[in-house]
Amino acid sequence: MKQFLTFVKKEFAHVLRDRKTLLILFGLPVVQILIFGFALTNEVKKSKIIIVDQAKDLASQKIITKIGTSQYFDIENTAMNRQQIEKQFKEGEIKLAVIFPEHFNHDLLHQNKATIQVIADSTDPNTANTLTNYLSSVIADYQTELNRKSQTPYRIIPEMRMLYNPELKGAPNFVPGVMALVLMLVCVMMTAISIVKEKETGTMEILLVSPFRPILVILAKAFPYLILSLGNVCTILLLSVFVLGLPISGSIFLLFAESTLFIITCLSLGLLISVNTESQQVAMLISLMGMLLPTVMFSGFMFPIENMPVALQWLSNLIPAKWFYIIVKSIMIKGVGFTAIWQETLILVGITLILLTVSIKNFKIRLA
């Protein structure tokens, strides 16, 4: 036991001495939370649009005023012909063009029907869709105002209740995601690199020749990162509660327990990578290119997994972060207990055991 502690102390010394890396390790989650919390959102607001008013009559003017007061639209200017519209779109600022035909009001009154043409820059389909929808609802509002006198019979009114996140904030969705991401990054990369570095510089041999079992060496290497990562979990939770105003609904103890499990999963992954690579560069490239992007993509917090092709959905099941993300969401946001997440926990345990077994097996093969 004492020997183990000696090792651990040495590893801590390595880690703590590297100020630059340490700074990044702690700064990373903070920056991510801040960016996600305050800068990134899919909400569409205040988009620049142009209006082509070929009618210039009462109805079109009223509608234009209504559009102008909407929080979603910023009427940039008006254009007169298709060429001008094209030019503005190409320059990149304008997302939508609204065109009122010449006899707008006339058509409305005499034919009971008029059409407004909307051209959307569908480079980003979601934005285009959302903006078109918003515009349609502005128009629909105007229609309702016109028809205020008649009351429709047989109304079905849906009463919507938004659960867990009534204000539809982004935080509940991404904070668990950030946790998964940061833990994964730190644990996998740092462990992999730390072990490979010893291999590269040759000091690994010295350690292996010592009377300590190799498994202790590895454990000692992983230990500081376990502690660091738990520290990161605390930071993220504190930020989330006090800066983002997102409270923890469930058991904090359970949250930490599951986090520890996930950290061990990531450390095992790092171990697996380190056993199979010889140089730091390769270890880094694998951790980053091979792991960061897939984790971001397949864990489910940036893009919904349900939308992906089935093959990719199956693939996402292999990503530990996906399961952890579900677990954290459940505990933190929904406030459920272990009974609701025991399956996911079991899966994580399973993945960890597989990773550890393969790593140790490979490790022994190398030594032989």
Partner 1 sequence: MRTIKFLLQKEFRQIFRNSAIVAMILVVPVMQLLILPLAANYEVKDINITVVDNDHSSYSAKLISKITSSGYFKMTGVKTSFKEAFKLIETDEADLVLEIPYGFEQRLIKEDEQKVFVAVNAINGTKANLGGAYLGTIISNFNSDVRMRIDVPGKFNSKPVIDVAPTNWYNPLMNYRVYMVPGILAVLLTLIGGYLTSLNIVKEKEVGTIEQINVTPIKKYQFVLGKLIPFLVLSLVVFTLGLLVAWLVYGIFPEGSILLMYGFVLVYLLAVLGLGLLISTYCETQQQAMFIAFFFLMIFIMMGGLFTPIESMPDWAKAITKFNPVSYMIDVMRMIVLKGSSFGDIKYHFAKILLFAVVFNTWAIFNYKKTT
Question: Least CB distance from residue 294 to partner 1, whole Å?
Answer: 8
Closer to partner 1 at the Cβ: 5 or 16? 16
Closer to partner 1 at the Cβ: 4 or 105? 105
Token output for 221:
């290497």
Closer to partner 1 at the Cβ: 2 or 113? 113
Closer to partner 1 at the Cβ: 168 or 367? 168
Closer to partner 1 at the Cβ: 5 or 31? 31
Torsion of CA 357, 358, 364, 368, to 10 degrees: 150
Other beta carbons within 10 angstroms of residue 289's beta carbon come to 10
Q: Which amino acid appears at position 198 of this protein? A: E
Question: Least CB distance from residue 1 to partner 1, whole Å?
Answer: 29
Closer to partner 1 at the Cβ: 4 or 200? 200
Question: Least CB distance from residue 213 to partner 1, whole Å?
Answer: 26
Question: Least CB distance from residue 98 to partner 1, whole Å?
Answer: 9
Distance CA 281, CA 366 (A): 20
Asked if residue 292 lies in contact with residue 185, where contact means CB atoms within 8 angstroms, the answer is yes
Left (φ > 0), alpha (ψ -120 to 50) or beta: where does 168 sit? left
Token output for 322:
């996906």
Question: Least CB distance from residue 350 to partner 1, whole Å?
Answer: 19
Question: Least CB distance from residue 22 to partner 1, whole Å?
Answer: 10
Distance CA 30, CA 243 (A): 11
Q: Which amino acid appears at position 105 of this protein? A: N
Asked if residue 250 lies in contact with residue 330, where contact means CB atoms within 8 angstroms, the answer is yes
Within 8 A by CB and 6+ apart from 117, the residues are 98, 99, 101
Q: Taking the CA of residue 209 as centre, how many other CA atoms within 13 Å lie in the half-sphere pointing to its CB? A: 5
